[in-house]
Structure 1
Amino acid sequence: MNIKRNIIFTLESRKKDGVLITENVPIRMRVNFASKRIEFTTGYRIDSAKWDSAKQRVKNGCSSKLKQSASEINASLLGYYTEIQSIFKRFEVEDVMPTPEQIKEAFNALHKPVSEEPKPKKEALPCDFFQVFDDFVEDCGRQNNWTNSTFEKFAAVKNHLTNFREGLTFEFFDERGLNDYVGYLRDVKEMRNTTIGKQLSFLKWFLRWAFKKGVHQNNAYDSYKPKLKSTQKKIIFLTWDELNRLREFKIPSNKQALERVRDVFLFQCFTGLRYSDVFNLRRSDIKGDHIEVTTVKTSDSLIIELNNHSKAILDKYKDVAFEHDKVLPVITNQKMNDYLKELAEMAEIDEPVRQTYYKGNERIDDVTPKYALLGTHAGRRTFICNALALGIPPQVVMKWTGHSDYKAMKPYIDIADDIKANAMSKFNQL
């Protein structure tokens, strides 16, 4: 079931003596679905002049009467949005159309509305930094239904913090402490700027959560925004010519195990499925001329039509019995990544790819043959890029892939535009 809904954040419309109030106005969350409307209080107020109605967020650099920054308020609004989406997805998976009361009950169980009245500050109590971190992981993991990979990411965050310094406290992370941590990630762990940015965002998430819980009163993280030079990560995919080269490559007799790896990867290239969804694909998911899946990562319910290429791969294994009634011979992600690189190298998919990244202020350019950069996720990217290059509208591709907005699709659309522009230039050679 796909429940159409619209989640918006807006300022409450209030009048006093017939005049619209524009100062310290409550921010409301409005949810529309199945011709019904639910209103939620967010617990935040802001002046109308500081509110961006188009983006439905507080304008950057602004703050509320209670000195709550735009980033703090907007982060909470995003949290509310994520919670509501996860609630609807659970009902979709259960194939149930919820009532407004059920949505309210599920939301209130996840998140107690923040009081709009200012609370007296409590004196921070001595606490074990890493015990609070464990509480944060448990609380947010349960609330946001984290996947195993997300838990693993935060286990890595804890490991970095543990190795960084003994006896960490919340008071340590003022501007100087945050600078020291960034320096440690850059100089000792030798992380790229983009990776440092991700690690810093994870730490801020934890510090913000603990601040809201009243564990500490140090909000230096809120205004800490170091300049970390970065470039957009290059999307690794196979062009149509490379895809055909891989598909038609004759695998040596002593490497026949690579054939199954190729088939699974090609199935991704012709359906757009992630590795996790191909791994979980069961025979019951095949519905004649299409497949129906609920994605592992986002719990999206997708219907993906089959084309001649994906059908041929399914037909090849229709009489082969796999464990748990799986459709395809999918091995572990790590092994499949290793075999893919080997297969692509043998098929001479070796176009040099330049990747640019920064460590501190140092720009580094790495040139690597494409086969060394291939992994299972390249199958999904290959599907998207080639589908767009063939002229299939982005909104149709998004239905197949589960992307919810154009922001995530824009890098692929740019690539497709380049492919089409290069193809048009071929007329000049006639």
Structure 2
Amino acid sequence: MGVDLGVTFYTQTMNIKRNIIFCLENRKKDGKFIVENVPIRMRVVYSGHRIEFTTGYRIDLAKWNEKLQRVKNNCTNKLKQTASEINADLLKYYTDIQEIFKEFEVQGYIPTPEQIKEFFNEKNKKNVNIEPTEDRKETASFVEVYDEFVKECGIQNNWTISTYKKMSVVKNHLMAFDPALSPGAFDEAKLANYVNYLREVKGMRNVTIGKQIGFLKWFLRWCIKKGYCKDNTFENFKPKLKNTQKKVIFLTWEELTKLREYQIPPTKQYLERVRDVFLFCCFTSLRYSDAYNLWRSDVKSDHIEITTVKTADSLTIELNDHSRAILEKYKDVHFRGDKALPVISNQKMNDYLKELGELAGIDEPIRETYYKGNERIDEVTPKYALLSTHAGRRTFICNALSMGIPAHVVMKWTGHSDYKAMKPYIDIADDIKANAMSKFNQL
């Protein structure tokens, strides 16, 4: 029973079930259905939601292939648009919707209909760089300007859905702070009040407040560039936000061995695949998104070749005995999209990793220190409660460095471009080496 439930769960959570349909709109005139020049619509059904899109095309009922959901070959509509032209765009719309859903699957959650519409419109929007008129600069609301900023920068910088989510959160905080905001309202006093709001009302840590202010300044710089505001005093606003370096959560070699050799109970076999994917990240340095997108064609005899999702780096990562054994285990198991590994959603995998870590006894007390305003807060948490998919990548880096592999070699595997990003890991590796040397004193 436990095994069956586990396998079923993977099938359901790897993909958001959806149905994308092209059909002609049912319209009546004088009690009769219209059969000429009928709008073609795209319908998307998923998770109890139904969304209707207009495609911008019309066709006669007699020229529409209902079974194939396409215009019949060699037909044209009233505007002399050909079947090949219309069908090509219908295919593009279908592909756009599929890509949007795939991005949400990587992020590990089900989108709202509004999000699907927004991202579809972004993919099919033109002329996003139109400069606002002087009248609009004076009358545009904060929401209108912010939405324009998101649309333009999102397309120009090829934002991921994760970035769109972050910017949506920024907008929600700002509107909750002051529903009557305007782009030019952020003088030093307003910014100070906003910081206080984020700390006292939203209960944010200093580090999170710093990120929110950073996003806001990005938006305000864009506003100045576009002429929506002229006051740039916000550039000099630098609130004192006391912070500490974030704790790097990783597994030592002993903990990694403990997790790998733990005998999973028969009632919890759903944890086996989660462990395999996590261990693969621990032995290759892959991020969750890259493990999710690893295809069988990326796997070579002695290495894997990937283009990372986050940074678009092309990496060649040699296989070791541990990573090769995991790939070998699943080489004859079919996964949708010809994936190489049984990767579930990031959110569920994080939940299961914590469960697995607790069962395996990965329970070293970890003290984390953070600040809210000037208040220092110390929290002690067992390590298993802090495990996430990204801990796999950190585990690879820390253990590789502690074994004496040069940092520049590790960076070739991880895709890091400078030593600044590697410094926290190098410091940890130095500590591990120092502790290891002390063991000689016990001889």
Corresponding residue of 2:149: 136
Corresponding residue of 2:285: 272
Q: Does 1:378 align with 2:391?
A: yes
Does the Cα contact within 8 Å between 2:368 and 2:378 map onto a contact in 1?
yes
Deviation, 1:125, is 2.4
Equivalent residue in structure 1 for 2:415, among 399, 402, 406: 402
Q: Does 1:326 align with 2:332?
A: no
Deviation, 1:122, is 12
Deviation, 1:124, is 5.8
Equivalent residue in structure 2 for 1:194, among 194, 198, 207: 207
Q: Which segment is superposed worse, 341-350 or 214-223?
A: 214-223
Structure 1 residues without counterparts, runs of 5 or longer:
1-111, 113-120
Deviation, 1:170, is 2.4
Corresponding residue of 1:349: 362
Corresponding residue of 2:271: 258
Equivalent residue in structure 2 for 1:213, among 226, 231, 237: 226
Deviation, 1:145, is 1.4
Q: For residue 285 of structure 1, what is the amino acid of its counterpart?
A: D
Looking at structure 2, the residues matched to 417 and 425 of structure 1 have their Cα atoms a distance apart, in angstroms, of: 13
Does the Cα contact within 8 Å between 1:170 and 1:218 map onto a contact in 2?
no
Check 1:405–1:293 CA distance in 2 against 1; reply closer, same or farther (3 A cut).
Answer: same
After superposition, the CA RMSD in angstroms is 1.8
Corresponding residue of 1:242: 255
Looking at structure 2, the residues matched to 341 and 300 of structure 1 have their Cα atoms a distance apart, in angstroms, of: 30
Q: Across the two proteins, how many residue pairs are aligned to each other?
A: 313
Deviation, 1:333, is 0.4
Corresponding residue of 2:90: none
Q: Does 1:126 align with 2:139?
A: yes
Q: Does 1:173 align with 2:173?
A: no
Looking at structure 2, the residues matched to 124 and 297 of structure 1 have their Cα atoms a distance apart, in angstroms, of: 35
Q: For residue 419 of structure 1, what is the amino acid of its counterpart?
A: I
Deviation, 1:123, is 12
SS at match of 1:125: helix
Equivalent residue in structure 2 for 1:312, among 325, 328, 333: 325
Q: Percent identity?
A: 71
Q: Which has the higher contact order (CA 8 A, sep 6+)?
A: 2
Deviation, 1:212, is 1.4
Looking at structure 2, the residues matched to 276 and 243 of structure 1 have their Cα atoms a distance apart, in angstroms, of: 21
Does the Cα contact within 8 Å between 2:198 and 2:209 map onto a contact in 1?
yes
Deviation, 1:148, is 1.1
Deviation, 1:360, is 0.4
Does the Cα contact within 8 Å between 1:292 and 1:304 map onto a contact in 2?
yes
SS at match of 1:417: helix
Looking at structure 2, the residues matched to 346 and 383 of structure 1 have their Cα atoms a distance apart, in angstroms, of: 22
Q: Which segment is superposed worse, 414-423 or 130-139?
A: 130-139
Q: Which segment is superposed worse, 129-138 or 305-314?
A: 129-138
Looking at structure 1, the residues matched to 367 and 164 of structure 2 have their Cα atoms a distance apart, in angstroms, of: 32
Does the Cα contact within 8 Å between 1:389 and 1:420 map onto a contact in 2?
yes
Looking at structure 2, the residues matched to 330 and 215 of structure 1 have their Cα atoms a distance apart, in angstroms, of: 45
Corresponding residue of 1:284: 297
Does the Cα contact within 8 Å between 1:124 and 1:217 map onto a contact in 2?
no
Q: For residue 374 of structure 1, what is the amino acid of its counterpart?
A: L
Computing the radius of gyration over CA atoms, which structure comes out larger, 1 or 2?
Answer: 2
Q: Which segment is superposed worse, 305-314 or 156-165?
A: 156-165
Corresponding residue of 2:52: none
Q: How does 1:40-119 map to 2 (within 5 A)?
A: none
SS at match of 2:185: coil
TM-score by length of 1: 0.71
Does the Cα contact within 8 Å between 1:230 and 1:357 map onto a contact in 2?
yes
